[in-house]
Amino acid sequence: MEEHFMTKTDLIEKLNKENYCTKKDAEALVNAVFDAIREALASGDKVTISKFGTFEVRERSAKECKNPRTGEPVQVAASKAPVFKASKNLKESVNV
C-alpha cells in the first residue's frame, strides 16, 4: 500500500487551486497560521480549533533510560513536547 501525505506546499497549492487566493497569499496565510500556533505554544498557551482539535505543550519529566547499543544507563533531561489531540468531529470524519 502506497503512503499518501499532504505537505505544506500541497496545502498552499490546494488553497490556490480552489481559488481562495493567489499562491503568494496562500503561502502567507499558511505561514501566518503555523506561526500563530507555534507562538502560542511557545508562550504556554493551548490552541483549540473548533471541530478540528487541540494543540498543547506537555511536560516530560527527567528519566533514566538504557542505551540500546551498549546497555549503559543514560539520563534523559526533562523537556516539553508539543501534542495534538483530534476532536471528536475530526475523528468521526476520518472514520467514515
Does 1 score more than 70 pLDDT? Answer: no
**If you average pLDDT over residues 69-94, what whole number do you get?**
95
Higher pLDDT residue, 19 or 30?
A: 30
For the chain, domains (ranges, CATH) are 8-86 (4.10.520.10)
Rounded (10°) CA dihedral 33, 59, 91, 3: 80
Hey, how many other C-beta atoms are within 10 angstroms of the C-beta on 93?
A: 12
pLDDT digits (tens, 9 = 90+) for 61-77: 999 999 999 999 999 99
Give the predicted TM-score (pTM) of the model.
0.79
